[in-house]
Amino acid sequence: ESAEFPHLVNKYGVMGVPKVVINEEFGFEGALPESSFVEEVVKASKSTTEAKDEG
């Protein structure tokens, strides 16, 4: 799929798949166990919420 969307590969610096990007700010790569995936999403959510609170 990276060949189909080279602009996204460049924009998000994709080096491996899967690549998850949340709110254009937070991302991670690799197939994670469900619990780790949830942890990363929660971290991203907190990061986004804190940034909005500061702004």
Say how many domains are in the chain.
1
In the block, which residue shows the tokens 């189909």?
Answer: 4
Domain of 34, in residue numbers: 6-54
- On whether residue 34 sits in a domain, the answer given is yes
CA distances from 45 to 14, 24, 48 (A): 21, 12, 5
Whether residue 28 is contained in a domain is answered as yes
Provide the whole-model pTM.
Answer: 0.66
- Does 36 or 50 have the greater pLDDT score? 36
Ramachandran angles phi, psi of 23, nearest 5°: 55, 35
Asked if residue 39 is part of any domain, the answer here is yes
- Position 1 in a domain: no
pLDDT tens digits, residue range 1-47?
A: 788 999 999 999 998 889 999 888 888 999 999 999 999 999 998 87
Name the amino acid, one letter, at 18. Answer: P
CA 17 from centre of chain: 11
Structural domain contains residue 21:
yes
3-state SS, residue 21: strand
